[in-house]
Amino acid sequence: MSAPSAPARLNEMQSRIRDLLAEASKPLSAYDVIDALRDHGRVAPPTVYRALQKLIDEGLAHRLETQNAYVACRDHGPSCGHRHKAGFMICRACGKTQEFGDEEIERLLSRTAAQGGFTAERVAIEIQGLCAACAEAGVSLPDASAG
């Protein structure tokens, strides 16, 4: 039996990575993904980056800009802005990440861009703070703006 073709391997890789992201309790960097895939043999970073980009292009994952990490798209409904606009609330203590989308925010951003003569292709909003569980547990972190 011959080895799978490159597209078949990529599809298998995308599926594994999508599963990893969906099961993760916090965002994963590309190198976290590579480490998690070690049981499947050696995986080259470019292969993982290509698979991650394909997942993003297909609306199945998002890249968190401030963390250089990836999360599975949790909402495939009309409120999800996975193709152009997406928002995330990221807990600085535990890493929990919650995706959100809001038509009013998207309209405001589009209108603001248009007023500036700019066509937005992608918008990422990242709100960092404490999730309800960490706040309730009294977790305190140094001020993120200090530094």
Predicted confidence (pLDDT) per residue in 10-68, tens digit: 588 899 999 999 999 899 999 999 999 988 888 899 999 999 999 988 888 999 988 99
% of the chain residues with pLDDT over 70:
81
For residue 2, what are its two tokens?
């011959």
pLDDT classification of 147: cutoffs 50, 70, 90: very low
Residue 79 has pLDDT above 50, yes or no: no
Rounded CA gap, 81 and 14, in Å?
Answer: 20
- Going across the sheet that includes 97-100, the strands are 97-100, 85-91, 123-129
What is the rounded distance in angstroms from the CA atom of residue 71 to the CA atom of residue 52? 10
Q: What is the pLDDT of residue 105?
A: 85
Q: Which pTM was predicted?
A: 0.76
Span 35-47, pLDDT tens digits: 999 888 888 999 9
Q: Which residue would you say has higher pLDDT here, 11 or 78?
A: 11
Q: How far is CA 42 from CA 36, 62, 96, 101, 120, in A?
A: 11, 24, 29, 37, 38
